[in-house]
């Protein structure tokens, strides 16, 4: 199998999707398809091929419970038909009842790609117009740009306290030359991913291409860290019903030092320190906390890391937070002992979230994701924004769109005769992709007919391309008409983009 490199800012294409399942733990979408109410055609046709924990989102949609969808656009050029996949995914989730968010990743575009603010404004507008033209409802949904969202910035700041440079190094290959703005744009993006849950935790899906998976993994990790942090804090604050307390206490009871080996000594020390200082004392005073901290330090814990949580530097908060940091060391053990848990983990997690939120925390659920295949470029290879002939821009003149399809490469045979005999290679044909990903729309039978006729040798490339080219021309004309119509909607949406 080819190497799979997942680099959110690189130009790598993912040539072997199977590797993603094995190496990165992305799961096959087919396994959850049955749980999705009225699945979108991109799901039915396997264009959306993978997911991380999409089950809770599907369940929420099925039961009319809160759910959210969010995706960001880095406005580095014109939106093209590859981006339309993400637009469609957001819109579909919105139509199924999810809170929908579309954001302009202007900080990321500036920091990671060096785009000027003027370029970002122009392209950002184009992305949003296409999103609206395709059916996004801005009155029900939320549009924002990173640089103008104050809450987002605050959240990014707090998430930054949970992440560190070595981690960015490992995940993104950052090094000593990486500029600070780029790193900042990463925590901002983490905040984007968790933003729909700021008011209320809910299953949230991020539709992306597989190259964005590193972001998803980090965000899931940070969501967990924030949660554990908050659960510990909530437990210690004792605003729980007795039964709830018992359940949460279950987490701690199972952190039994006797079960651990030498590698886990660090955690044993934490537990011992905790045993000696009853948790019921923890909300008493900074002195008590300080004494716990001293014990932790004596037990060889890492030095205290000061925090600015909620921008409050009170001694109690600081000391308490440092203690929580220490408890975080236990998380690893907690995970490795997860099988030994008798309590229903799901139940406990649900409660932990409730407890956390009741205590002023976030209660983030790990965000879910779905992954779609990249479209093949019309000239073969990857569809790329920087190669005009490889893609069809949503802003292309319909006639140009027509011409691009007419000169696309195909999966056809050398001669018509050979094609009739052996059939075309629809699976390797960018024109077939156009039908499956876009032109056939919701009409599965049409998509299937094109495929069957192609591989059966009844369909020849000349006519097939002519039909596709006509359809693209119509699609572009119609889309651009709609774009003009929604200009006004965009003006009314609460988002600043210079036109
Ligand atoms: Fe592609 Fe159509 Fe030719 Fe088949 S007939 S290879 S789908 S262009």
In the chain, where the domains are located: 17-226+367-372, 228-358, 388-492
Per-residue pLDDT for 239 more than 70?
no
Nearest atom of ligand 1 to the alpha carbon of 408: 8
Sheet containing 68-73: which strands, arranged edge to edge?
27-28, 48-52, 368-372, 204-208, 68-73, 99-104, 142-145
pLDDT score, position 144:
94
Q: What is the DSSP letter of 301?
A: P
Name residues whose C-beta falls within 8 Å of residue 322's C-beta, 6 or more positions apart in sequence.
Answer: 293, 304, 305, 306, 307
Give residue-wise pLDDT tens across range 442-489. Answer: 999 999 999 999 999 999 999 999 999 999 999 999 999 999 999 988
For 17-226+367-372, CATH gives 3.40.50.620
**Is residue 255 very low, low, confident or very high in pLDDT (cuts 50, 70, 90)?**
very low
Lowest mean pLDDT among 27-31, 267-271, 432-436, 475-479: 267-271
**Model confidence, pTM:** 0.76
Residue 204, both tokens = 């949230």
Average pLDDT over residues 57-86: 94
pLDDT score, position 114:
86
Per-residue pLDDT for 378 more than 60?
yes
Q: Compute the radius of gyration of the chain from its Cα atoms.
A: 26
Q: Whose CA is nearest to atom 4 of ligand 1?
A: 454
State the Cα torsion 346-350-352-355 to the nearest 10°.
-160
Per-residue pLDDT for 124 more than 50?
yes
Residue 131, both tokens = 């999103």
pLDDT score, position 385:
77
pLDDT score, position 277:
40
d(CA 45, CA 28): 13
Per-residue pLDDT for 408 more than 90?
yes
Q: Whose CA is nearest to atom 8 of ligand 1?
A: 461
State the Cα torsion 88-71-202-213 to the nearest 10°.
110
Nearest atom of ligand 1 to the alpha carbon of 461: 3
Binding-site residues, ligand 1, Cβ < 6 A: 410-412, 424-426, 429, 431-432, 454, 459, 461, 464-465
**Is residue 126 very low, low, confident or very high in pLDDT (cuts 50, 70, 90)?**
very high
Q: Which residue has the higher pLDDT, 93 or 210?
A: 93
Per-residue pLDDT for 104 more than 70?
yes
Residue 381 CB coordination number (10 Å): 13
Ligand 1 centre distance from Cα of residue 409 (Å): 9
pLDDT score, position 111:
86
Map 460-485 to HEC letters.
Answer: CHHHHHHHHHHHHHHHHHHHHHHHHH
Residue among 157, 477, 435 at smallest CA distance from 309? 157
Give residue-wise pLDDT tens across range 274-320. Answer: 444 443 333 334 444 445 445 545 544 433 222 222 222 233 344 44
Ligand 1 centre distance from Cα of residue 49 (Å): 23
pLDDT score, position 349:
55
Per-residue pLDDT for 434 more than 90?
yes
CA 438 to chain centre: 23
For 388-492, CATH gives 1.10.240.10
State the Cα torsion 436-437-438-442 to the nearest 10°.
70
Residue 352, both tokens = 């932990």
Ligand 1 centre distance from Cα of residue 306 (Å): 62
**Is residue 173 very low, low, confident or very high in pLDDT (cuts 50, 70, 90)?**
confident
pLDDT score, position 7:
52
pLDDT score, position 495:
76
Ligand 1 centre distance from Cα of residue 425 (Å): 7
Ligand 1 centre distance from Cα of residue 461 (Å): 5
d(CA 93, CA 96): 5
Ligand 1 centre distance from Cα of residue 472 (Å): 15
């Amino acid at each position: 199998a080819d190497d799979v490199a997942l680099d959110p800012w690189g130009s790598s294409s993912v040539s072997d999707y199977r590797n993603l399942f094995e190496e990165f733990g992305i799961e096959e979408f087919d396994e959850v398809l049955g749980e999705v109410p009225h699945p979108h055609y991109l799901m039915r046709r396997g264009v959306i091929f993978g997911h991380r924990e999409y089950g809770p989102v599907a369940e929420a949609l099925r039961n009319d419970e809160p759910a959210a969808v969010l995706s960001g656009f880095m406005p580095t050029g014109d939106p093209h038909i590859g981006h339309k996949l993400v637009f469609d995914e957001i819109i579909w989730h919105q139509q199924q009842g999810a809170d929908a968010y579309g954001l302009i990743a202007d900080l990321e575009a500036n920091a990671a790609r060096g785009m000027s603010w003027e370029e970002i404004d122009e392209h950002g507008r184009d992305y949003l117009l296409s999103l609206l033209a395709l059916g996004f409802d801005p009155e029900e949904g939320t549009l924002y740009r990173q640089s103008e969202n104050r809450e987002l910035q605050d959240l990014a700041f707090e998430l930054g306290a949970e992440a560190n440079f070595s981690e960015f190094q490992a995940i993104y290959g950052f090094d000593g030359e990486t500029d600070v703005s780029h790193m900042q744009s990463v925590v901002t993006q983490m905040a984007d991913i968790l933003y729909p849950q700021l008011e209320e935790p809910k299953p949230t899906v991020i539709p992306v291409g597989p190259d964005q998976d590193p972001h998803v993994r980090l965000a899931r990790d940070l969501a967990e860290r924030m949660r554990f942090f908050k659960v510990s804090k909530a437990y210690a604050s004792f605003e729980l019903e007795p039964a709830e307390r018992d359940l949460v206490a279950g987490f701690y009871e199972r952190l039994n030092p006797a079960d651990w080996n030498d590698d886990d000594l660090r955690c044993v020390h934490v537990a011992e320190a905790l045993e000696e200082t009853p948790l019921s004392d923890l909300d008493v005073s900074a002195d008590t906390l300080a004494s716990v901290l001293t014990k932790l330090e004596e037990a060889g814990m890492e030095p205290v890391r000061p925090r600015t949580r909620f921008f409050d530097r009170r001694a109690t908060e600081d000391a308490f937070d440092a203690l929580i940091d220490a408890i975080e060391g236990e998380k690893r053990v907690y995970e490795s002992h997860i099988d030994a848990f008798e309590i229903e983990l799901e139940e406990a997690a649900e409660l932990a979230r409730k407890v956390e939120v009741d205590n002023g925390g976030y209660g983030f659920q790990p965000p879910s994701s779905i992954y779609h295949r990249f479209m093949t470029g019309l000239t073969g290879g990857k569809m790329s924004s920087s190669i005009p002939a490889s893609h069809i821009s949503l802003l292309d003149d319909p006639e140009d769109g027509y011409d691009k399809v007419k000169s696309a490469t195909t999966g056809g045979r050398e001669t018509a005769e050979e094609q009739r005999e052996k059939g075309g290679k629809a699976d390797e044909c960018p024109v077939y992709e156009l039908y499956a990903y876009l032109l056939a729309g919701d009409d599965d039978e049409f998509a299937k007919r094109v495929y069957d006729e192609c591989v059966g040798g009844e369909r020849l490339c000349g006519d097939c391309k002519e039909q596709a080219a006509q359809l693209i021309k119509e699609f572009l004309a119609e889309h651009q008409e709609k774009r003009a119509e929604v200009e006004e909607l965009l003006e009314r949406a609460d988002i600043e983009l210079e036109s």
